[in-house]
Structure 1
Amino acid sequence: MAEKKYITSDELKKHNKSEDLWISIQGKVYNVTDWAKIHPGGDAILLNLSGQDVTDAFVAFHPGSAWKYLDRYFTGYHLEDFLVSEVSKDYRTLVNQFANLGLFEKKGHTVIYCLCFIAMLIFACCYGVVFSDSFSIHMLSGGLLGLAWMQVSYLGHDSGHYQMMKTRGYNRLAQILTGNCLTGISIAWWKWTHNAHHVACNSLDYDPDLQHLPVFAVSSSFFKSLTSQFYNRELTFDPVSRFFVSYQHLTYYPVMIVARFNLYLQTFLLLFSNRKVPDRFLNIVGVLVFWTWFPLLVSYLPNWPERILFVLSSFTVTALQHIQFTLNHFAANVYVGPPKGNDWFEKQTSGTIDITCSSWMDWFFGGLQFQLEHHLFPRLPRCQLRKVSPFVQELCKKHNLPYRSLSYFEANLETLKTLKTAALEARDLTSPVPKNLLWEAVNTHG
């Protein structure tokens, strides 16, 4: 038997570039430089955790069947100073327990129920638009379409985290249908940003879900013009940013209503960029399907004022979902810097907030009210999240880690408080950026 070769954690850290990317899983060191280029979850995840032991992240995102593929990337080295914290041991034990109980495979009938509900909502919307002359019915139809989009997004989210259909091909088809065709938002864009968000949860410079300048800044750290490691550009805090951020607690809800326009824009920017986009052609075709049926439906309305109000009606309902996504993270703890593979559980508990609700409202939140549970076990079907919540709470209590669960109303107040705190700090910086005339006018007379 060949003698084991070892390297230290400090030596592993040196292999942290796209052209030289090593990671460790359970103390074995792997060279994933070439794999990162074709990694289904995108290269951002591996780059963010490069040069580290990433066992907990690997366990969270991969089924047991994935372990057999690691050997081809094994460098022959083991980590000399490999240690496992007590919280990581308990976390991995939980994952094994859930796997042995078959919870990752028991998906329930969520897909069938959701598809039937979505079909009813879209049919009712189209019927109201095409066969009614009532302004009220038209606005109600817009609201129903918005509700359908919310449910469609939850299905797309499910399909992106685990195989909700019988085969990978059908699962990919479900992703294109639910994302691109029905909502106009590319599933490729969602995967690109969402996977990075999960790994770098609430890192101001690594998590794209917190990088919303010039409109929002959840922390005064953004006032230093951080560099986004995800977008590879500076998040400049200029006079325009300062103006918008200074009133972000007042503009929060109006911006959420029109936030969907930004998602459409981000979809087009990615699909027609130079980046390598998985299934680019299918994504483009799917988006074209949306931009065929949606304008056609709107064209059936009698005049432009009703058409605009119809779109705003649908966007206003989906704003509830956009708000929910921000409630889960905006008021949670944030940090600057890359994620660490050896404090996976701690970072997830620190950066997420659950929404308390009755079980009969689970359909409305799509399982994401159990945000911490979802972040810890992203492959777990949403119908299982309520069941595992007590185990997560117990583990948090055992290791003295936060478990925050607020009502929808309380979470809104906390988010507004966070935004207002940053807004007031933006106004009172001792070394302000150059002020523009609009800034001067508002702060002199406003």
Structure 2
Amino acid sequence: MADNKEKYITSDELKKHNKSDDLWISIQGKVYNVTDWAKVHPGGDIPLLNLAGQDVTDAFIAFHPGSAWKHLDRFFTGYYLEDFQVSEVSKDYRRLAAEFAKSGMFEKKGHGVIYSLCFVSVLLFACFYGVLFSDSFSIHMLSGALLGFSWMQVAYMGHDSGHYQIMMTRGCNKLAQILTGNCLTGISIAWWKWTHNAHHVACNSLDHDPDLQHLPFLAVSASLFQSLTSVFYGRKLTFDSFARFFVSYQHLTFYPVMCVARVNLYVQTFLLLFSKRKVPDRALNILGILVFWTWFPLLVSCLPNWNERVLFVLVSFCVTSIQHVQFCLNHFAANVYIGAPKGNDWFEKQTSGTIDIACSAWMDWFFGGLQFQLEHHLFPRLPRCHLRKISPLVQELCKKHNLPYRSLSFFEANIWTLKTLRTAALEARDLSSPVSKNLLWEAVNTHG
């Protein structure tokens, strides 16, 4: 052990090991070779690749339980980081995380899952009853709205199960993910994990965060007009005349686009599950998707005519669009940057790239805990029932280190988002700014 302590490398030397076939990271100043582990990492290889060649202590603490530390030794290279330092912000963040762990907050999940399951069951029962046993047009449309509300609540449950175990065992938790994601909403949990983990690690990076890559229809920053290459998707986000047209009016088309955003999620699910990319539990995910595309069309077909069927689907999508809008409010109007995330400014990047939605405690069910977006990003494994409790502590830490803590009402957040989109739209209309050659196919097929 004494010999190991004498072996050091610098941060600059560590940075050289930042490729998929040579991937090193540092945690608490100890250097680990995770090249092979990245291929089977439960969180996917993207988070590791984005932080490769860096000290990732804060990110490791955020995403892993205390039991994960004992597994690190098998990856230890024998090297220590010679110039390892911990900022005051990180010290306070780690202290806070340790306090939460010591009090058992990560394990105390409350009864939210039971309440959510009961609520979703009631909504789905009412929806099916209205479609199957009523001839009223109004009841049919109300049933579509109830289906939309149920999808919102199911999505929150899927989100919770993806970040921490809401069931007793890992196997039951995986089953809950497939049921809530694939079977009930038609959106693959494998796709969600792939994109969502990347989003958390590279929060609001224009070229690394897939949640900001919505060309040709939306652009939150004029920097996207440079036709950046998406590191996540491995393709260029082409800003051509086709994209310029849509982006120029995005502040007007934002809500209509959100009403049909669910279609994009279905497309993304199929693109991933039937791609050549390695997908964990691919067969199980496909089976879950087949379940959804069996019961949903059958339910719609029970409506008396095509007019009601189309309107039923549109109503359900429009209600669910409230949730899609919420996801945008949390990040679209926050600060953005270009480049890979850094492991040594974890707390700072999360405060910079997130916006909370202020609401009364009785509305927490409606927002699913994601109104405390910053708290969730800082402590993604923390059950949503604790997010309101820790909010004052996070605010205090932000104030201490002179970091932004933005909490807006739902209305104010919408105004901020629309202003951000309008600013980018007006810049897109500048015809003196050149665009790439208009390749319609490429623009349409840009993921995001």
> Which residue matches 2:209?
207
Q: 1:362 and 1:101 mapped to 2: Cα distance?
A: 23
Q: 1:100 and 1:156 mapped to 2: Cα distance?
A: 26
> Which residue matches 2:425?
423
Residues 209 and 434 of structure 1, relative CA distance in 2, 3 Å threshold: closer
2:32 to 30, 33, 39: 30
Q: What per-residue deviation string (whole Å, max 9, x for no partner) do you get for residues 176-233 of structure 1?
A: 0000000000000000000000000000000000000000000000000000000000
Counterpart secondary structure, 2:8 = strand
Q: 1:374 and 1:72 mapped to 2: Cα distance?
A: 30
Counterpart secondary structure, 2:246 = helix
Q: What per-residue deviation string (whole Å, max 9, x for no partner) do you get for residues 28-50 of structure 1?
A: 00000000000000000000000
Q: What per-residue deviation string (whole Å, max 9, x for no partner) do you get for residues 315-336 of structure 1?
A: 0000000000000000000000
Q: 1:198 and 1:269 mapped to 2: Cα distance?
A: 22
Q: 2:29 and 2:382 mapped to 1: Cα distance?
A: 26
> Which residue matches 2:396?
394
Q: 2:398 and 2:147 mapped to 1: Cα distance?
A: 39
Q: 2:307 and 2:353 mapped to 1: Cα distance?
A: 42
Q: 1:424 and 1:314 mapped to 2: Cα distance?
A: 32
> Which residue matches 1:250?
252
Return the offset for 1:387: 0.3
Instruction: Look up the equivalent residue of 1:271 and give its one-letter code.
Output: L
Residues 435 and 265 of structure 1, relative CA distance in 2, 3 Å threshold: closer
Q: 1:435 and 1:27 mapped to 2: Cα distance?
A: 48
1:331 to 314, 330, 333: 333
> Which residue matches 1:235?
237
Return the offset for 1:429: 4.9
TM-score relative to the length of structure 1: 0.97
2:111 to 109, 112, 130: 109
Q: 1:25 and 1:131 mapped to 2: Cα distance?
A: 59
| Mapping 1:68-147, distance limit 5 Å | 68-147=70-149
> Which residue matches 2:443?
none
> Which residue matches 2:444?
none
Counterpart secondary structure, 1:380 = coil
The question of whether the paired residues in 1 share the 8 Å contact of 2:238 and 2:436 is answered with: no
> Which residue matches 1:262?
264
Q: 2:68 and 2:181 mapped to 1: Cα distance?
A: 26
2:21 to 12, 19, 31: 19
The question of whether the paired residues in 1 share the 8 Å contact of 2:148 and 2:317 is answered with: yes
> Which residue matches 2:304?
302
Q: 2:28 and 2:394 mapped to 1: Cα distance?
A: 23
Structure 1 residue 372 and structure 2 residue 374: aligned? yes
Q: What per-residue deviation string (whole Å, max 9, x for no partner) do you get for residues 295-328 of structure 1?
A: 0000010000100000000000000000000000
Q: 2:225 and 2:366 mapped to 1: Cα distance?
A: 36
Structure 1 residue 176 and structure 2 residue 167: aligned? no
The question of whether the paired residues in 1 share the 8 Å contact of 2:163 and 2:381 is answered with: yes
> Which residue matches 1:2?
2
> Which residue matches 2:281?
279
Counterpart secondary structure, 1:70 = helix
Structure 1 unmatched runs, 5+: 437-446
Residues 434 and 399 of structure 1, relative CA distance in 2, 3 Å threshold: closer
Return the offset for 1:339: 0.1
Q: What per-residue deviation string (whole Å, max 9, x for no partner) do you get for residues 260-292 of structure 1?
A: 000000000000000110110110000000000
Instruction: Look up the equivalent residue of 1:117 and give its one-letter code.
Output: F
Return the offset for 1:431: 2.7
Q: What per-residue deviation string (whole Å, max 9, x for no partner) do you get for residues 119-141 of structure 1?
A: 00000000000110110000000
Q: 1:245 and 1:428 mapped to 2: Cα distance?
A: 12
Q: 1:116 and 1:244 mapped to 2: Cα distance?
A: 41
Q: 2:431 and 2:356 mapped to 1: Cα distance?
A: 33
Structure 2 unmatched runs, 5+: 439-448
Return the offset for 1:2: 2.9
**Matched positions, count:** 437
Instruction: Look up the equivalent residue of 2:316 and give its one-letter code.
Output: S
Residues 51 and 435 of structure 1, relative CA distance in 2, 3 Å threshold: closer
Return the offset for 1:428: 1.4
Q: 1:101 and 1:69 mapped to 2: Cα distance?
A: 23
2:69 to 64, 67, 70: 67
Instruction: Look up the equivalent residue of 1:31 and give its one-letter code.
Output: N
TM-score relative to the length of structure 2: 0.97
